[in-house]
């Protein structure tokens, strides 16, 4: 049961911000935004990045509450890779966000600028930042450092773990409210968009350019709605639909993750000579279910990560295949090794690479603060139970995993805005360039179409198929060249209609048995996937 302290924290926080959250997603007219927002100034110094010596870092003071610009302040961490082209050819700052909500953007200036031609990259100041309350920004919000420690309760409701998960989710919401009630109501997408304008103002730029992926597409479109005259160019990659509730968005995710898991199973079945899991997708999926069932009674050591790998940790290890199909060979190896030889080393390695928790709960507070607060969520477990059971009949791979990941919203003290997220109309915006894959599991295809319809003058580039979530910068020339042309001089695809240009996906990965090292060491098992690692997942929007 929740402690009385946590219950009181939940109730008092809900009362304190009831009026605030009812308007948190409302857009003030651009002219009504106060000129003095109370933010600080930027003092740049070297980031001491040996790989990119030119990278500069700074902290920026911004208000907790933009309605009270001279009240309490927090700090946003940002970096920049300055333009090197002659002043006459420079095109101003381009702010970058990979999604999350809450993921760090500090890796992006060096990474993205290094993947487009130098004659274009050199004309921009590339700006990365950590969203408020996350990563290197101050404070770094921490609700429960051990929330993701294994072994966690089984996700599947048939295993009788619902009470354990409800208690766990309610406790997490109470922890966030108890310690961070002064900040949590001010960590929405709108608040982050206003931080972007504080960054623009501190940079001394009349307009900004923007690239955002996943939740970053919500951030960018929200910024454009708030400050249309301050947008020069904008690129949105793997798009969250502008009108859908977060609860309904997750249901779409469940269905698309099932499609991608089915695609993985079909791919592995074609590679039966490598993995020996069977020659049809059903056999591969049966092997997956067999391993999960065995882990229920025989969890394995997660070392070098602490704890054990049970069915929940196993599912978390596999869902990332829907974001990046370069993970498929390792995923198939995990199943093959376990089924054929009961070799758990590939599973332990994959878990440590893809799913093991960090030192704390990472950006999960920011994820909840945005999603739970921005649109109304069902508050009745009986509704969740019945509705999610319906979804699970056609999408069993991910439904209950996704449900419990988002269950804190059932108890979130800051009631979601009944009017939903900010309405996006695109009024006053320049043409926006949109990228969307038809088989994206994290941000389903419908979102790209809906964003195009909401933004007059936008151009939608569609990748037929699925390979990555966030489809730019993986070497697909059809996609990347379109991005480069737009950044170079504003050129857009010429096609009319809802889809201006179509691109093919990358070829499926080559089936390979990923042989584990002879000795499993901490270095080989849990070195984090860097942004340049081909198996890395960016912009995770669960």
Catalytic residue, candidates 214, 218, 221, 245: 214
Give CA–CA dist 436/114, Å, rounded: 22
Give CA–CA dist 529/536, Å, rounded: 5
Between the CA of residue 138 and those of 60, 72, 124, 159, 366, what are the distances in Å? Answer: 10, 12, 27, 40, 13
Whether the Cβ atoms of residue 434 and residue 234 lie closer than 8 Å to each other? no
Q: Map tokens 């198939």 to a residue.
A: 332
440 is catalytic: yes
Catalytic residue, candidates 458, 469, 480, 538: 469
Closest listed residue to residue 139, CA positions, set 97, 100, 176, 96 = 176
214 dihedral zone (left: phi>0; alpha: psi -120 to 50; beta): left
CB atoms within 10 A of CB 379: 13
In SS3 terms, 413-435 reads as CCCCCCCCCCCCCCCCCCCCEEE
Which contacts of 84-87 are long-range, i.e. CB under 8 A and separated by 24 or more positions?
Answer: 84/122, 85/119, 85/122, 85/123
Closest listed residue to residue 326, CA positions, set 464, 509, 473, 465 = 509
Residue partners of 412: CB distance under 8 A and separation at least 6: 173, 368, 372, 373, 377
DSSP codes of every residue in 309-339: E-HHHHHHHHHGGGTBGGGHHHHHHHHHHHH
Give CA–CA dist 261/317, Å, rounded: 13
Q: Is the peptide bond before 18 cis (omega within 30 degrees of 0)?
A: no
DSSP codes of every residue in 17-45: HHHHHHHTTPPPPGGGS-S---------E
12 is catalytic: no
Whether the Cβ atoms of residue 299 and residue 306 lie closer than 8 Å to each other? no
Q: At what angle do helices 246-270 and 445-454 cross, to 10 degrees?
A: 140
CB atoms within 10 A of CB 456: 12
527 is catalytic: no
Catalytic residue, candidates 440, 452, 458, 538: 440
| Token pair belonging to 418 | 């009944």
Rounded (to 5) percent helix, strand, coil in the chain: 45, 10, 45
Whether the Cβ atoms of residue 190 and residue 24 lie closer than 8 Å to each other? yes
Closest listed residue to residue 207, CA positions, set 238, 234, 244, 175 = 234
Q: What are the residue numbers of the active site? A: 214, 440, 469
């Amino acid at each position: 049961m929740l402690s009385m302290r946590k219950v009181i924290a939940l109730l008092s926080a809900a009362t304190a911000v009831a009026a605030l959250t009812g308007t948190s997603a409302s857009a003030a007219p651009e002219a009504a935004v106060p000129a003095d927002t109370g933010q600080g100034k930027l003092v740049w110094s070297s980031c001491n990045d040996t790989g990119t010596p030119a990278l500069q870092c700074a902290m920026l003071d911004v208000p907790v509450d933009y309605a009270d610009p001279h009240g309490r302040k927090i700090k946003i961490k940002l970096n920049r890779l300055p333009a090197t082209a002659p002043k006459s050819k420079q095109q101003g700052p381009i702010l970058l966000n990979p999604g999350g909500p809450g993921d760090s953007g500090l890796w992006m200036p060096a990474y993205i600028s290094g993947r487009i031609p130098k004659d274009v990259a050199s004309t921009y100041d590339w700006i990365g930042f950590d969203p408020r309350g996350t990563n290197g920004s101050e404070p770094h919000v921490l609700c429960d450092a051990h929330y993701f420690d294994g072994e966690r309760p089984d996700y599947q409701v048939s295993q009788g773990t619902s009470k354990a998960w409800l208690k766990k989710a309610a406790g997490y919401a109470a922890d966030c409210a108890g310690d961070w009630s002064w900040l949590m109501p001010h960590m929405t997408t709108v608040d982050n968009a206003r931080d972007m304008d504080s960054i623009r103002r501190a940079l001394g730029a009349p307009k900004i350019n923007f690239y955002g992926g996943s939740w970053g597409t919500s951030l960018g479109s929200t910024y454009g709605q708030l400050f249309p005259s301050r947008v020069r160019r904008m690129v949105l990659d793997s798009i969250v639909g502008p009108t859908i509730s977060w609860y309904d968005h997750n249901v779409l995710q469940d269905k698309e993750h099932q499609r991608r898991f089915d695609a993985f199973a079909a791919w592995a079945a074609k590679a039966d000579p490598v993995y020996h899991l069977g020659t049809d997708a059903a056999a591969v999926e049966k092997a997956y279910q067999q391993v999960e069932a065995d882990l229920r009674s025989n969890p394995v050591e997660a070392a070098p990560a602490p704890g054990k790998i049970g069915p929940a940790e196993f599912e978390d290890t596999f869902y990332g295949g829907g974001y990046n199909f370069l993970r498929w060979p390792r995923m198939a190896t995990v199943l093959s090794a376990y089924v054929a030889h009961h070799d758990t080393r590939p599973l332990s390695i994959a878990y440590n690479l893809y799913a093991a928790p960090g030192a704390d709960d990472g950006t999960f507070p920011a994820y909840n603060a945005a999603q739970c607060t921005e649109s109304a969520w069902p508050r009745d477990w009986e509704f969740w139970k019945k509705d999610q059971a319906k979804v699970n009949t056609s999408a069993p791979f991910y439904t209950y995993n996704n449900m419990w990941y988002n269950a804190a919203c059932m108890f979130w003290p800051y009631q979601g805005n009944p009017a939903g997220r900010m309405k996006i109309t695109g009024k006053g915006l320049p043409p926006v360039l949109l990228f969307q894959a038809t088989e994206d599991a994290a941000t389903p295809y419908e979102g790209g179409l809906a964003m195009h319809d909401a933004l007059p003058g936008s151009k939608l580039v569609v990748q037929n198929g699925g390979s990555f979530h966030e489809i730019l910068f993986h070497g697909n020339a059809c996609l990347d060249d379109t991005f480069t042309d737009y950044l170079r001089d504003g050129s857009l695809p010429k096609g009319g209609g809802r889809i201006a240009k179509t691109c093919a996906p990358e070829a499926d990965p080559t089936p390979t048995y990923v042989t584990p090292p002879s000795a499993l060491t901490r270095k080989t098992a849990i070195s984090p996937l860097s942004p340049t690692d081909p198996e890395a997942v960016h912009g995770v929007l669960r």
